[in-house]
Chains A and B, each alone.
Chain A
């Protein structure tokens, strides 16, 4: 029962963070939200008893790609512009 509630909460958080990552105009905030998405996804992998994939997702998704996005935003524009 408690496991189902945690599943639903994590999946709802995944949908919310994915929507925010698409919709936010501030690209730095979008990168951070994408890091939160990866962290929630690694939690979900851990609950589904795949700790190996969870470590890889937390290291690559939440750590490295967030750093790469932050560097890329720093070297280009921070705000999304309408073409």
Chain B
């Protein structure tokens, strides 16, 4: 548990960091960044709150089992999305230009970037983002959980 100034800053910044991280994940096929970078940004927000509040308060809000479950679910989504297109080849982009979700066709020429395109790539970015936020958040929480604090 740190001072009140740090906790107020953490309260203010935590939702903004989460929204920015999910923005990076969701726009991974259009702008710089992607699943790994967005997941790392979200894990930075988790680390901020954990360092500001201390483990005793945080363990009721963010659970280690949920984060490890997020890691597993992300990896499963990734590999299942890769295996759905196995009829043609592994990692086949079966959603692109199909008219379904993320399946819009792109007009020829320079465009500002349409979110509803690129087929399976946004789904894979989302899976990698969930996996990375689970893994890095679990690292932070396990660092906090074990060992005792030394005061001099």
Size bracket, chain A contacts: 10 to 19
Is B143 an interface residue when CB atoms closer than 8 A count as contact?
yes
Could you tell me which residues of chain B, from 20 to 51, have a CB within 8 Å of some CB in chain A? 24, 32-34, 36-37, 40-41, 43-44, 47-48, 50-51
Q: How far is the CA of A72 from the CA of B143 in the complex (A)?
A: 8
Is A12 an interface residue when CB atoms closer than 8 A count as contact?
no
A52 neighbours in B (Cβ, 8 Å): 32-34, 37
> Do the beta carbons of B40 and A56 come within 8 Å of each other?
yes
A60 neighbours in B (Cβ, 8 Å): 40
> Do the beta carbons of B51 and A55 come within 8 Å of each other?
no
Q: How far is the CA of A60 from the CA of B36 in the complex (A)?
A: 10
Chain A residue with Cβ nearest B24? A55
Q: How far is the CA of A50 from the CA of B64 in the complex (A)?
A: 34
Q: How far is the CA of A55 from the CA of B38 in the complex (A)?
A: 8
Is B152 an interface residue when CB atoms closer than 8 A count as contact?
yes
Is B147 an interface residue when CB atoms closer than 8 A count as contact?
yes
Among A59, A67, A71, residue most surrounded by chain B Cβ atoms (within 10 Å): A59
Q: How far is the CA of A72 from the CA of B32 in the complex (A)?
A: 32
B40 neighbours in A (Cβ, 8 Å): 55-56, 59-60, 63-64
Chain B residue with Cβ nearest A46? B32
Chain B residue with Cβ nearest A68? B143
Chain A residue with Cβ nearest B37? A55
Is A16 an interface residue when CB atoms closer than 8 A count as contact?
no
Q: How far is the CA of A68 from the CA of B47 in the complex (A)?
A: 8
Complex interface: stretch among A2-10, A18-26, A73-81 = A73-81
Among A52, A64, A78, residue most surrounded by chain B Cβ atoms (within 10 Å): A64
21 pairs, CB–CB < 8 Å, chain A vs chain B: A55-B24, A55-B32, A55-B41, A56-B37, A59-B40, A59-B41, A63-B41, A63-B48, A64-B44, A64-B47, A64-B139, A64-B140, A68-B47, A68-B140, A71-B143, A71-B144, A72-B143, A74-B149, A75-B147, A75-B150, A77-B152
> Chain A residues in contact with chain B, CB under 8 A?
51-52, 54-56, 59-60, 63-64, 67-68, 70-72, 74-78
> Chain B residues in contact with chain A, CB under 8 A?
24, 32-34, 36-37, 40-41, 43-44, 47-48, 50-51, 136, 139-140, 143-144, 147-150, 152
